[in-house]
């Protein structure tokens, strides 16, 4: 199948990685355009973007109307709005695609019911400090993927940990390709209020609203560059910042589930996750009273997955 793909790269202070990232997308004839969405970098990323755009007509540079910094979510949304391809793919500016990136898509998108395809991402350590921070946070450090093939609502159920066997924590946005018409049909964009986890928020909602299917999940189709300035590795597990960001993410999903009247099983799981992180951010007597009230109303809340975070005291 002939695909015409828009690759969206949000850019903020990525001068040391940007050219390699862009060149990795240029290798594919299916990629009709690379959208460089620049987010008011303080290094020379903008200058590099201008150079790249002048070198190849497939590379297009955009900034926010006010030229300001709006975060990765809003910047990806800018890229989506400016894109013209039938399919949308994403790539972080410090990461890159591998030659097999769109192999599964060429076959799977022949099925018109499939709205999106995702795969596995590997890791390239660019600094020793970055490697240590990443491996301290992520046990499965060589490949981020799901554990078995899935499609449709099974993907959503897996991401919510509602499947009988462990599906895997998530798939990376760099491995997702989605029909732009599907995004427009369900009116889905990134939550601009989330500075982290906006990708997980987007992927989870997409898995419910659209028909996703796993592609290549046993080997990497893209690589993430791990260095000293990766935002996600800077947040220590179970720290106050970890719980604050987890609350913002779980609240976003919770409010979305209520607005869309999700099925009871899904709504219950999402609500318990939200309550867990909400209580985790409380202190002293209020924390215990909230925990007891929630447990009385929802006995499932006593399960380890919820109780652990709710009663854990953040340590920085």
Tell the burial category of 221 from Cβ atoms under 10 Å away from its Cβ (0-12, 13-18, 19+).
buried
> Of 210, 207, 202, whose CA–CA distance to 186 is shortest?
210
Q: How many other C-beta atoms lie within 10 A of the C-beta of residue 141?
A: 15
CA-to-CA distance for 251 and 266, rounded, in angstroms? 14
Of 35-49, 129-143, 167-181, 272-286, the range with the lowest mean pLDDT is 129-143
Does 140 have pLDDT greater than 60? Answer: no
**Dist. CA 48–CA 53, nearest whole Å:** 9
Please tell me the distance from the alpha carbon of residue 116 to that of residue 283, in angstroms, as a whole number.
42
What average pLDDT does range 36-42 have in this prediction? 98
Query: Which of 46-50, 53-57, 225-229, 240-244 is predicted with the least confidence, judged by mean pLDDT?
Result: 225-229
- Res. 2 pLDDT band, cuts 50 70 90: confident
CB 295 within 8 A of CB 301: yes
The predicted structure's pLDDT at residue 313: 82
CA 59 – CA 115 distance, rounded (Å)? 25
Task: Dig out the tokens for 76 from the structure.
Answer: 């990806």
Stretch among 27-36, 72-81, 165-174, 213-222 having the lowest mean pLDDT = 165-174
Separation of alpha carbons 297 and 194, rounded Å: 29
Q: What is the pLDDT of residues 112-139, one digit of tens each?
A: 999 999 999 998 877 777 677 676 666 6
* Torsion angles phi and psi, residue 83, rounded to 5: -75, 150
Q: What is the pLDDT at residue 199?
A: 96
- Whether residue 256 has pLDDT greater than 90: yes
pLDDT band at 233 (very low <50, low <70, confident <90, very high): low
**Burial degree of 279 (CB within 10 A; 0-12, 13-18, 19+):** buried
Residues in the chain: 316
Looking at every residue in the chain, the average pLDDT score rounds to: 93
Q: Which of residues 306 and 68 earns the better pLDDT score?
A: 68
Q: Are 198 and 177 in contact (CB under 8 A)?
A: no
Q: What is the mean pLDDT of residues 211-219?
A: 97
From the centroid of its chain, how far is CA 243?
18
69 with 39: CB under 8 angstroms? yes
**pLDDT of amino acid 146:** 87
pLDDT at 38 (0 to 100): 99
Query: What values do phi and psi take at 131, rounded to 5?
Result: -60, -45
Instruction: Tell me the percentage of the chain whose pLDDT exceeds 90.
Output: 79
Which residue spans of the chain are classified as CATH 3.90.550.10?
5-234
What pLDDT is recorded for position 101? Answer: 99
Write out pLDDT tens, residues 13-26.
999 999 999 999 99
Tell me what pLDDT residue 170 has.
79
Residue 58: pLDDT above 90? yes
pLDDT at 197: 93
Fold classified for 5-234: Spore Coat Polysaccharide Biosynthesis Protein SpsA; Chain A (3.90.550)
HSE-CB at 306 with a 13 A cutoff on CA atoms is 23
- What's residue 141's pLDDT? 64
CA distance 278 to 276: 5
The predicted model gives 169-185 an average pLDDT of 94
């Amino acid at each position: 199948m002939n695909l015409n793909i828009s690759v969206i790269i949000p850019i903020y202070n990525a001068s040391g990685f940007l050219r390699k990232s862009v060149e990795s997308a240029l290798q594919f004839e299916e990629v009709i355009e690379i959208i460089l969405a620049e987010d008011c970098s303080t290094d020379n990323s903008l200058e590099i973007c201008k150079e790249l755009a002048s070198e190849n007509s497939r590379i297009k540079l955009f900034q926010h109307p006010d030229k300001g910094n709006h975060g990765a979510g809003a910047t990806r949304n800018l890229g989506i709005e400016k894109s013209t391809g039938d399919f949308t793919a994403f790539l972080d500016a410090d990461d890159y695609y591998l030659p097999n990136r769109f192999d599964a898509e060429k076959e799977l998108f022949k099925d018109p019911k499939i709205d999106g395809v995702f795969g596995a991402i590997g890791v390239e350590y660019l600094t020793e400090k970055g490697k240590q921070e990443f491996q301290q946070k992520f046990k499965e450090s060589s490949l981020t993927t799901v554990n078995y093939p899935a499609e449709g609502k099974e993907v959503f159920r897996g991401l919510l940990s509602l499947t009988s066997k462990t599906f895997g924590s998530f798939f990376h946005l760099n491995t997702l390709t989605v029909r732009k018409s599907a995004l427009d049909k369900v009116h889905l964009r990134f939550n601009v209020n989330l500075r982290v986890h906006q990708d997980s928020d987007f992927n989870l909602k997409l898995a419910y609203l659209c028909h996703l299917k796993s592609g290549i999940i046993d080997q990497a189709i893209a690589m993430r560059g791990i260095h000293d300035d990766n935002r996600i590795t800077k947040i220590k597990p179970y720290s106050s910042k970890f719980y604050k960001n987890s609350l913002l993410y779980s609240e976003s999903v919770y409010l979305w589930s209520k607005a869309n009247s999700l099925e009871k099983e899904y709504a219950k799981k999402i609500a318990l996750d939200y309550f867990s992180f909400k209580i985790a951010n409380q202190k002293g007597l209020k924390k215990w009273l909230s925990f007891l009230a929630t447990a009385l109303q929802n006995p499932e809340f006593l399960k380890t997955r919820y109780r652990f975070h709710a009663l854990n005291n953040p340590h920085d």
